[in-house]
C-alpha cells in the first residue's frame, strides 16, 4: 500500500509504503518492464536503492529504538514526526498489516509528485 503524505505535513512529496518484503532489483525492473542497460533500468535501480537503503523503515525504527520511549507506534508518529491524525491512523494500520513501513522521499531520486506515485503504484500494486 502507498500513501502520499500531504504537503501540509512536509514541504515536499513524501510517501509511506507498506510491504512484506522487498523485491530484488531484477524483479523490480521486470515489474517495471525495463531492460538492463537502459535509462529506465537506471531509474528503477535508483528508486530501488532509495527504497531499500535510503528510506526510513518507520516500523523497524520504532521497534528497535523507540518502543521503550513511546507507549505506541501512533504516539511515536505524533510526537516524533507531528503527523496528522489521518496519517497516523493509516500508518498505524500499515504497522499492523505489513512487515516493513517506509517513509520514502522521492526527492533523493529524480521523481516528484504524480510521476513518483504512478511509478510506485506500478512497482508495488499486486
> Are 13 and 7 contacting, i.e. CB atoms less than 8 angstroms apart?
yes
Most confident region among 38-47, 66-75, 77-86, 109-118 by mean pLDDT: 66-75
Pairwise CA distance, residues 117 & 95, whole Å:
20
Bridge partners (DSSP) of residue 17 are 2, 102
pLDDT in the model for residue 33: 87
Write the pLDDT tens digit of every residue in 17-47. Answer: 888 988 889 988 888 888 999 988 988 888 8
Of the CA atoms within 13 Å of residue 80, those in its CB half-sphere come to 16
pTM greater than 0.85: no
Q: What SS3 class is residue 30?
A: helix
pLDDT band (50, 70, 90) for residue 70: very high
- For 27, 36, 80, the CA distances from 46, given in Å and listed in that order, are 14, 13, 28
Higher pLDDT: 47 or 122? It is 47
The answer for residues whose C-beta is within 8 angstroms of residue 10's C-beta and 6 or more apart is: none
Write the pLDDT tens digit of every residue in 95-121. Answer: 999 999 988 877 656 566 566 677 777
Pairwise CA distance, residues 46 & 64, whole Å:
27
Task: Indicate the average pLDDT of the chain.
Answer: 83
Amino acid at each position: 500500500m502507498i500513501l502520499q503524505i500531504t504537503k501540509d505535513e512536509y514541504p515536499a512529496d513524501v510517501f509511506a509504503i507498506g510491504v512484506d518484503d522487498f523485491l530484488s532489483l531484477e524483479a523490480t525492473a521486470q515489474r517495471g518492464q525495463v531492460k538492463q542497460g537502459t535509462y529506465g533500468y537506471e531509474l528503477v535501480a535508483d528508486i530501488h536503492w532509495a527504497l531499500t537503503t535510503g528510506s526510513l523503515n518507520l516500523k523497524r525504527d520504532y521497534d528497535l529504538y523507540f518502543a521503550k520511549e513511546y507507549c505506541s507506534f501512533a504516539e511515536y508518529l505524533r510526537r516524533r514526526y507531528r503527523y496528522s491524525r489521518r496519517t497516523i491512523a493509516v500508518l498505524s494500520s500499515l504497522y499492523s498489516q505489513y512487515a516493513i513501513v517506509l517513509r520514502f522521499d522521492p526527492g533523493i531520486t529524480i521523481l516528484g509528485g504524480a510521476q513518483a506515485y504512478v511509478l510506485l503504484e506500478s512497482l508495488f500494486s499486486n
